Amino acid sequence: MLETVVEFLNGAQGRDFFRFLKVAFLAFFTVAALAVLFAPRARPGRVSYGLLRVIVTAALAAVLAYQATWQLAGFVKPDFVRFMRRYNKRPRAAETQVMRGPILDRRGLVLAAPVPGDVWGRRYPLGESAVHPVGYFHSRFGITAVERVCDPELSGYPAETKEDFPGKNLFAVRAAEGAAVTLTLDAGLQAKAYELLEGRKGAVVVMKPRSGALLALVSSPGFDPLNPQSAVEDDENSPVFNRAVQGRYPPGSTFKILIAGMALEKGLSPVYACPGMGYIAGPNTPPIRDSEYYAYARNGAVWPGWGRLGLEEALVHSSNVYFAQLGVGCGTPAFNRVMARARINEALVYLEAASGKLKTACGHAPEVARKRKLALLAIGQGEVLVTPLHVACFTAAVAAGGEMARPRLRADEPVEKLGMLFMPGTAKQLGEMLRKAVRSGTGRAANVPGLEVCGKTGTAQAPGGDDHAWFTCFAPQRRPGIVVTVLVERGGFGAKAALPVARALLEEADRLGYVRQTGEELK
């Protein structure tokens, strides 16, 4: 019964019903007021209407005064702007007085813009490829992402405006035109990254390491921002879910960047035996083995192991056996400190406006009390979870000499430093190791000539299906200008599924002038 009433009131018949009630009320109120105002004066023995006249006159004056404030200064009020957008029966008036501002990329290309003559109209040139960071502005499904957080500016009523005065909108018919909002995104890189994922579930983050500026923030699959309904109803693929900032995944071997840095900070670079049968961290715990063990077993062979490895060789070969031992050797206090400095358990804010924030989901790196638990966490498995943006940020910190910048999506936001993840010397050593991992290790396919790519593959086991594929990298080694992080859900090996996407993006970014720079612009 209630649903029927709500459907009726929200439909065309409901609008007609409310219109009739409004007209009937105004007609009744007007007749009653006129009857009282022009009633003959009281004679002896009859009731006086003087007090009633005063009350009705005051009520009329209050209604007119309130209406005047809406007409003269209403367009600086969010409630009025929303009301006019939804109910104004004069489209031309709504078009000229409530024109929503555009959203632009860093080069001034349109990511979202109004449709003349349609108050709720919006066009999105990149369509589904940019819907997650940009959001949508829809009369039925609401407002999301940048469209939501920057709504006051885009709609023409910034929350902090104090220069407006009564009457401004009476004399300037375009006084409520929204301001443009410029993002750090590059439309070309955004579209290219989405195209390279080829509809697979996953995410791509491209950012500038020192400033945190996000050049691409992609979640796949996407959906049509003009028609969100089908995406909302698609429970199997969850296209409305922003995997780049809300998806939490085991990081696999990309996490070894943090563990290697943790060891270097402690002055450790041990040599461990890495036998083919693996490493057992404690009683009643299964052995931790290298991926080669399983590859050999599938072919009916026995993996002999890597033998004795040092830190650099272990990172190049991505040896689970080595890093499980290294995590235990470093100890729980060191692990907990690095997780705190990398802000794994925090939500990273990537856009902040007067009306709200856009931020990631919190990662999960449990505080460890027992060393045996460290063995699994140190290889990016077990309970540890991260978002793709978290991985991009700690990769960027290594590229930026150890200092982590807050990721940012809006061009006019100031650069904000989140603190030192590693000392500059540690970051330099990590860069050299990651460069070698691309030259001769698991990331060889990303060795683009002339770019000096430094990177790390990751293959993360996940329950219920194939492994997640990761690749995170920066380039060039000596003066990094860009960071690229790719996740492909259930993609299998990082080197086969995620790495080719990253390589193609590095080449595209180089073509656009983002990689080989004499000095990174903080924009």
What is residue 283's predicted lDDT score, i.e. its pLDDT? Answer: 85
Angle at 207 between CA 205 and CA 210, to 5 degrees: 145
Same topology between domain 78-182 and domain 187-250+331-511: no
Assess whether pLDDT exceeds 60 at residue 17. Answer: yes
What mean pLDDT comes out for the span 476-499? Answer: 96
What mean pLDDT comes out for the span 486-507? Answer: 96
When mean pLDDT is compared across 42-46, 361-365, 393-397, 420-424, the lowest value belongs to 42-46
What is residue 361's predicted lDDT score, i.e. its pLDDT? Answer: 98
Round to whole Å and give the CA distance between 342 and 371: 20
What is residue 37's predicted lDDT score, i.e. its pLDDT? Answer: 59
**Half-sphere exposure at residue 290, Cβ-oriented, CA atoms within 13 angstroms:** 26
Q: Report yes or no: 243 and 202 within 8 Å, Cβ to Cβ.
A: yes
Looking at domain 187-250+331-511, its CATH superfamily turns out to be DD-peptidase/beta-lactamase superfamily (3.40.710.10)
Q: With bands split at pLDDT 50, 70 and 90, how would you rate the model's confidence at 23? A: low
What mean pLDDT comes out for the span 78-85? Answer: 54
Nearest to 263 by CA among 348, 170, 329: 329
Q: Report yes or no: 451 and 475 within 8 Å, Cβ to Cβ.
A: yes
Class of domain 78-182: alpha beta
Round to whole Å and give the CA distance between 262 and 177: 52
Residue of 17 and 397 predicted with greater confidence: 397
What mean pLDDT comes out for the span 415-430? Answer: 97
What mean pLDDT comes out for the span 444-470? Answer: 94
List Cβ neighbours of 18 (8 Å cut-off, separation of 6 or more): 9
Assess whether pLDDT exceeds 50 at residue 437. Answer: yes
- Across the chain, mean pLDDT equals 85
Q: With bands split at pLDDT 50, 70 and 90, how would you rate the model's confidence at 355? A: confident
Round to whole Å and give the CA distance between 370 and 282: 10
**Tens digit of pLDDT for each residue in 112-156?**
999 987 878 899 999 999 999 999 999 889 899 999 999 989 987
Round to whole Å and give the CA distance between 497 and 491: 6
Nearest to 185 by CA among 100, 102, 109: 109
Please count the other Cβ atoms lying within 10 Å of the Cβ belonging to residue 494.
30
Domain-by-domain residue ranges, the chain? 78-182, 187-250+331-511
* Dihedral of alpha carbons 200, 203, 207, 210, sign: negative
Cis peptide before 221 (omega within 30 of 0): yes
Round to whole Å and give the CA distance between 191 and 409: 16
Q: With bands split at pLDDT 50, 70 and 90, how would you rate the model's confidence at 90? A: very low
Round to whole Å and give the CA distance between 378 and 467: 17
**Tens digit of pLDDT for each residue in 218-269?**
999 999 999 999 999 999 999 999 999 999 999 999 999 999 999 999 999 9
What is residue 333's predicted lDDT score, i.e. its pLDDT? Answer: 93
- Host H or E run for residue 197: helix 187-197
List Cβ neighbours of 520 (8 Å cut-off, separation of 6 or more): 208, 209, 210, 211, 479, 480, 481
What is residue 371's predicted lDDT score, i.e. its pLDDT? Answer: 77
Round to whole Å and give the CA distance between 220 and 320: 29
What mean pLDDT comes out for the span 206-223? Answer: 97
What is residue 390's predicted lDDT score, i.e. its pLDDT? Answer: 98
